[in-house]
Structure 1
C-alpha cells in the first residue's frame, strides 16, 4: 500500500514541479498553463490544480470522484475492482472475509490521507475557482458515479458564482457513456482550452 501512496503523491508532486519548470521558461507565459488527464491522469490533474494555482485552466476527464460518497452509498466496487489486489491485501490485513466499506475507507486513508475527507471532491473541486474548470464524465461511469459528483458540482457552481466567474465552470456527463474517454470529450476539452488559454 505504501508504494501506491508514494506513486500517487509522487505524480502530483511531479506535476507541481512541472509547473515550476514551465513557469521558469522564458518562452512560456506562466499565466497560460493548462492541465488535463484521463482517468487516473484526470485525478492527478484535479489534485495538482487544487494545490497549485499556476494551472490556470483545468480539465480532468473521467477522473473526479466523490470517494466518501461512494463509501456511504455502496458504490465503490468498480473503483476497487480497478486495483483489486491492493484491496485484497487490506482485507486480509483487516481479518475480514470480504472487502467492505470499512476496508475501502482504510485503503483510501492509507494511500492518500484525506482523499475521503478534507481533500475529497466536495471540498477540493470548489478550491479551483475562479480558474476555468471543465469536468467531463460518462453519465454511466461506475468508477466516477455521476450521483457522487452532484455535491462537488453544486459546491463548485456556488464557488464560481461567488467569485463572479460562473461561466468558467462546466460539468458535462455524457449520456450512455461509462468509464471511457470519447471523441466528444476530447473536443469539449480542446474547445475549453481554446476558449480560456
Structure 2
C-alpha cells in the first residue's frame, strides 16, 4: 500500500496547477462529490477575489446520494451558509460534465449580459488541470485561474472518507487528460513518463471504477 500511495501522490501533484490567486470578474464552481468546492469559493469571496459565483452541476452516479437536489443547488446553499449573499450566487443545474459546466455557465452569464474576461475556476484539488484544459478548448478567450482548497492527499482522503474512492477518481481524471484531448473535448496537456507509469500501476492494482472504455495513449 505505501508504494500505491506514492503513485497516488504522483497523480495528485500532476493535477495541481499552482496558480497564484488574484482578483477575477467571476468564479465558476464546478460540481462534484466535494463540498469543499463551495467552502473554498466562500473563502475566496470573503477575500474579495470576485463579486459573483456561478455554481454549475446536476448529478452524477458518484454524487446523487450526497447531493440529491443537485450539486450546484447544494453548493450554493453551503456558500450562502458561509456568508456569500444570495445576490452574488448563480445556479446552473443542468451540467453533467466539465465541458457542460463551462458552456452552460457561459450561457447563463451571457443571458444576464455578463461577458467576463477573467474567471477563477474552483474545483476539487485533482480536477484543476482537466478544468484548465477544458476551459482552453471550450472558452479560449477567457483567462482562467484554477483554484482548489489547499490540502495534502492524506488529509483529502480523510475528508472524503474513502481511500478507494479518491484513488479511483484520481486514476479516472488522469486518463481523461489524454482521452478527452483526443476526442476534442479539451486542450492537450503534457504528461510525463513518471505520471503515466504511476497511473498504469494503479490501474494494475484495480483502481479502475472511473476508467473510460478508451485508453489509447497519444499524448505524453
Q: TM-score, normalised by structure 2?
A: 0.35
